[in-house]
């Protein structure tokens, strides 16, 4: 079920200063990102993700660091995740 919710999902961080937008592929376990600071430099890395269970994924760029999202919840066009103990909300489309 989580896999179907992620396919084609666009998730934009709700923040006044930081830009983070994840765009999940419709056909694979890949996603692209736009990461940076508003009115500042942006980067566009590509990632793979792995579903751990119905409420957790690991986002990996192939290096030694990875991002783990836990407690994934969808409600009212928003995605809420816990990453490194911090609850974060994204606007979805």
Q: What is the pLDDT of residues 15-49, one digit of tens each?
A: 999 999 999 999 999 999 999 999 999 999 899 99
Q: What is the pLDDT of residues 44-91, one digit of tens each?
A: 989 999 999 999 999 998 877 899 999 999 999 999 999 999 999 999
Among left, alpha and beta (phi > 0; psi -120 to 50; other), residue 77 is: left
Q: Please name the residue ranges forming H helices in 1-93.
A: 2-6
Domains identified in the chain and CATH numbers: 2-92 (2.40.128.50)
Helix (H, G, I), strand (E, B) or coil at 18: strand
| Predicted local confidence at residue 61, as pLDDT | 83
pTM: 0.91
CA distance 67 to 40: 23
* pLDDT score recorded for residue 72: 98
CA distance 5 to 27: 12
Quick one: pLDDT at residue 65? 81
């Amino acid at each position: 079920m989580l896999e179907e919710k992620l396919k084609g999902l666009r998730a934009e961080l709700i923040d006044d200063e930081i830009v983070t937008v994840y765009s999940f592929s419709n056909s694979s376990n890949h996603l692209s990102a736009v990461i940076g600071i508003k009115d500042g430099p942006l980067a566009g890395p590509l990632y793979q993700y792995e579903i751990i269970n119905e409420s957790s994924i690991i986002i990996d760029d192939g290096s030694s660091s990875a991002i783990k999202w836990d407690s994934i919840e969808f409600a009212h066009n928003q995605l809420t995740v816990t990453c490194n103990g911090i609850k974060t909300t994204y606007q979805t489309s």
